Amino acid sequence: MLLHDFWGVAGDFPGRAAYNTLVLRWTCAQQHHDSQGAPPVDGDPAPLAEFPESDHQAVARLREGYQKVKDELGKVIVGQDEVIEQLLIAIFARGHCLLVGVPGLAKTLIIHTLAETLSLSFNRIQFTPDLMPSDITGTEVIQENKSTGDRDFKFLPGPIFANVILADEINRTPPKTQAALLEAMQEHQVTTGGKRRALPEPFFVLATQNPIEQEGTYPLPEAQLDRFMFNIYVDYPDEEEEFQIVRQTTALEQSKVEKVLSAEDVAVLQDIVLKVPVADHVIRYAMQFARLTRKQKGNVPDFVDEFVNWGAGPRASQCLIWGAKARAMLHGRAYVSTEDVAAVAYPVMRHRIITNFNAEAEGVSPDEIVRRLTELIPQDPEQLAGGGKLSEIFRSANAV
């Protein structure tokens, strides 16, 4: 049995870290062997190759950069460690984020400070009911050439042309203006005056939304919600954190953050994240979070059939793997485990699960659905041998 075949069925077990290192080396050797175009060799595989030294250094650098960013943010932001980690995961995985929380929880300050520590250009767009699409993307104006007297159209770029876009209170503008972000979020470009204009890289949309005030708001359509990799819930601080917030923000001197990574550094580290290998059984584990919410396809848990109206699409499975890769590297590992997938399941899935009236009546939130799925989906495929409907689903998913 080949190493990667065993990895696909073995699940998590004691000594997994050492085993993953062995598999990683074997995988790198195979990829190197295949890239050279050499014919298959019978018998033993090619000599084990170390994970490329440059990538090892990149993992260490990303881990070090992550700690430095957290330290710098800690000068201004008190608490919110989970929010900061999820934001950084999304950034290094090339994803957009929607931050949901009541006013006064430093959502805007977190985003602005994060852009500053990463040396990224930053623009804030305050969404209001009278905001027009051209106010975001830019517009063309007629400009006269004083030397020739000719009049030409000149494009004036809008605030969308920056690395980090803070879409503040994104649900307060009509769908016509909300849709102006769709092309930018998906294609990293805007089309104005019949011309496509590329946005600066890296490019992120970090939007905020108030969950308690719904009067005069326009809920984001599901198609646009799906473009956000993470839906991050920003909660109230605990008592000690609130004490520190009040003490720091009411003093005369305010802390300033230092720049940690450049835009070029972020782009390089994003490429390194995509190189992180993922075992087949981890991919199948991630897929189940999305597949088991699609009641229209049948063979779903009873609580999904009772409380879910529409489930998550394939983009959810992709985001789970992207997020798990970035999380693994932020924690100093060059491989992805099912633990990484489970850790990012809540921000990835909570805005992609549409619950029904039964769920609202019984107080069952999308987070509760994800929690039950986390408890239901086994991390070790060997646990699926017990029979039952889900056993058949997983046995079919893991069939070779």
pLDDT exceeds cutoff 70 at 18: no
Domain annotation covers residue 259: no
pTM beyond 0.85: no
Least confidently predicted of 78-82, 272-276, 379-383:
379-383
Q: Are residues 124 and 221 in the same domain?
A: yes
Is the pLDDT higher at 186 or at 17? 186
Domain enclosing residue 121, as ranges? 51-250
Q: Are residues 213 and 304 in the same domain?
A: no
- Establish how many alpha carbons lie within 13 A of residue 186's alpha carbon, considering only the half-sphere containing its beta carbon: 12
Task: Read off the pLDDT of each residue in 163-189 and give the average, rounded to a whole number.
Answer: 86
pLDDT exceeds cutoff 90 at 347: yes
Q: Are residues 245 and 282 in the same domain?
A: no
Task: Read off the pLDDT of each residue in 367-396 and give the average, rounded to a whole number.
Answer: 65
CATH number at residue 114: 3.40.50.300
Q: Are residues 145 and 209 in the same domain?
A: yes
Domain annotation covers residue 265: no
Q: What is the pLDDT of residue 310?
A: 86
Domain annotation covers residue 133: yes
Share of the chain above pLDDT 90, in %: 7
Q: Are residues 134 and 207 in the same domain?
A: yes
Convert the pLDDT of each residue in 287-341 to its tens digit: 888 888 888 777 788 888 888 888 888 899 999 999 999 998 888 888 888 899 9
Q: Are residues 305 and 359 in the same domain?
A: yes
Residue 392: band (very low, low, confident or very high) from pLDDT cuts 50, 70, 90 = low
Q: What is the pLDDT of residue 17?
A: 44
Q: Are residues 110 and 197 in the same domain?
A: yes
pLDDT exceeds cutoff 80 at 38: no
Residue 393: band (very low, low, confident or very high) from pLDDT cuts 50, 70, 90 = low
Domains of the chain: total: 2
Residue 397: band (very low, low, confident or very high) from pLDDT cuts 50, 70, 90 = very low
Share of the chain above pLDDT 70, in %: 79
Least confidently predicted of 29-33, 190-194, 319-323:
29-33
Residue 158: band (very low, low, confident or very high) from pLDDT cuts 50, 70, 90 = confident
Is the pLDDT higher at 79 or at 100? 100
Task: Read off the pLDDT of each residue in 81-108 and give the average, rounded to a whole number.
Answer: 87
Q: For residues 387 and 38, what is the distance between their CA atoms, to the nearest angstrom?
A: 44
Six token digits for residue 344 = 């990012």
Q: For residues 235 and 80, what is the distance between their CA atoms, to the nearest angstrom?
A: 8
Q: Are residues 85 and 169 in the same domain?
A: yes
pLDDT exceeds cutoff 50 at 398: no
Q: What is the pLDDT of residue 46?
A: 32
Least confidently predicted of 94-108, 148-162, 294-308, 377-391:
377-391
Q: Are residues 238 and 300 in the same domain?
A: no
Convert the pLDDT of each residue in 49-93 to its tens digit: 334 556 667 677 778 778 888 888 888 888 888 888 888 899 888
Q: Are residues 60 and 130 in the same domain?
A: yes
Q: Are residues 69 and 206 in the same domain?
A: yes
Q: What is the pLDDT of residue 400?
A: 33
Residue 381: band (very low, low, confident or very high) from pLDDT cuts 50, 70, 90 = low
Domain annotation covers residue 324: yes
Mean pLDDT for the chain?
77
> Which amino acid is residue 34, in one-letter code?
D
Q: Are residues 231 and 284 in the same domain?
A: no
pLDDT exceeds cutoff 60 at 28: no
pLDDT exceeds cutoff 60 at 144: yes
Domain annotation covers residue 40: no
Q: What is the pLDDT of residue 120?
A: 84
Domain annotation covers residue 386: yes
